[in-house]
Structure 1
Amino acid sequence: MTDHALPPVVDAETWERRLRALRAREKAATRELDAIAAERRRLPMVKMPDYVLEGEEGPVRLADVFAGASQLIVYHHMWFPGEEWQCPGCTGFTSQYTRLEFLENYDARFVVVTQGPIGEALAYRRRVGNRMTWYSTAGSSFGADVGAPPGGGFAVNVFLRDGETVHRTWHTDGRGTEQLGHSFALIDLLPYGRQEEWQDSPEGWPQSPTYSRWATSRDLAALYGPGGGE
């Protein structure tokens, strides 16, 4: 038996009634997200300079990071110089993405860009078992110019390429990235949720300090890195 409080037990008819009421709110939220996405498609854009990043094969123009696609999603991974284990939130977030080929059907690509030197960044990618394509903006102002400066936080940017010209179309950071992954979406379905102190939970629900249940970068490397899970 659990040591924590439990939801009240009711008859099936009462449960169905409460579920229908919640589903009505969930459907309304879905329609609002549709409306937000429609507004996102109507955002103007801003022309970008001709940045040069560092990739696994050497310098690469931002326009060429698209690899022939017209749309590009960039996750800006936090980087701490000289640290063996980088941000666990970024490491965990990007570990969700192992099969991105479906984006090809939408004329799009998803890559990681970090402020770390490309050699160190690629070594870290291998250590934690990350499968995405990584680039470095250590020798460029690109990251700083799009909300991900050295020593700064993580961010997501979206770009649209028109021939050799690249435009910035969208940006988010902080909790704005949550809906882009499945981890929190699944956890929020659970009766106890994320179990973090800031959440609005019933009396007696298990709660612990924010981030305390997150996997560390070392944990993630053990799961997904070379030989992980064997």
Structure 2
Amino acid sequence: MSTKALPPVVDTDTWRHELDALRIREKAATRELDAIAAQRRRLPMVEMPEYTLDGEAGPVRLVDLFGDKSQLIVYNHMWFAGEEWQCGGCTGFTSQFTRLEFLDNYDARFVIVTQGPIDEALAYKRRVGNKMTWYSTANSSFGSDVDAPPGGGFAVSVFLRDGDTVYRTWHTTGRGTEQLSHAFPLIDLLPYGRQEVWQDSPAGWPQSPTYSRWAGSKDIAAAYGEPGA
């Protein structure tokens, strides 16, 4: 017999009744997210100064990060100088994005920017098997200017360009980044959820310290990294 706490067992009609009641709230949340997205599309924007970042092929202007696209999503990956393993949250979060070509149809691109020197950043990318395009702000104030300063700070910013002029349209950090993830929505569907102590769960549900079930940078490297990198 299982020693885990379990949801109550009911007949099918009772289960469906409870599911239908939950669905009302889920649909309301979906409509609220649609309304939030509509408000986001109406946000004003701020013009950015010119920046030069470092890419795999050398110095690159901020506007060049767009390629031939007019919209750009930037994830600022936390970086700590001298550390072999960088932020596990950032490493795990960005490891999800392996197929970004679908953004081509939306005139958009999604890249990583980090404060680490470009050679170290690219070596780390290979070590953990990351598939995204990386740039460095080690020689630029761009990271600090978009609220991701050296020694800490992860963030997501969205930019729009008109010709060679770049505008910042949206920004978030903290749990605001979860909407970009497929990991948490999948985990939240599970009966036991994230199993973290801060969550509202029934008595007896398995709960662990926050972050303790997250894959660390070494775990990501072991699963996806290039051998010998």
Instruction: Tell me the TM-score normalized by structure 2.
Output: 0.98
- Indicate the residue corresponding to 1:182 in structure 2: 182
Matched, 1:156 2:142: no
- Indicate the residue corresponding to 2:51 in structure 1: 51
CA distance in 2, matches of 1:106, 1:179: 18
CA distance in 2, matches of 1:94, 1:119: 19
Letter in 1 for 2:215: A
CA distance in 1, matches of 2:182, 2:49: 33
Residue-pair matches, total:
228
- Give the superposition deviation at 1:152: 2.3
**Alignment partner of 2:189: what SS?**
coil
Cα shift readout 1:191-217 (whole Å, capped 9, x = no counterpart): 000000000000000001001001110
CA distance in 1, matches of 2:151, 2:54: 19
- Give the superposition deviation at 1:227: 4.5
Cα shift readout 1:154-201 (whole Å, capped 9, x = no counterpart): 100000000000000000000000010100000000000000000000
CA distance in 1, matches of 2:22, 2:151: 41
CA distance in 1, matches of 2:198, 2:120: 35
Cα shift readout 1:82-113 (whole Å, capped 9, x = no counterpart): 01100000000000000000101000000000
- Counting aligned pairs with the same residue, the percent is 79
* Cα RMSD for the two superposed structures: 1.0
CA distance in 2, matches of 1:2, 1:66: 53
Structure-to-structure mapping, 1:103-142, within 5 angstroms: 103-142=103-142
Matched, 1:89 2:89: yes
Instruction: Tell me the TM-score normalized by structure 1.
Output: 0.98
- Indicate the residue corresponding to 1:224 in structure 2: 224
- Indicate the residue corresponding to 2:147 in structure 1: 147
**Alignment partner of 2:219: what SS?**
helix
Structure-to-structure mapping, 1:188-199, within 5 angstroms: 188-199=188-199
- CA pair 120-2 structure 1, distance change in 2 beyond 3 A: farther
CA distance in 2, matches of 1:148, 1:122: 19
Letter in 2 for 1:6: L
| Contact in 1 for aligned 2:127/2:226 (Cα 8 Å) | yes
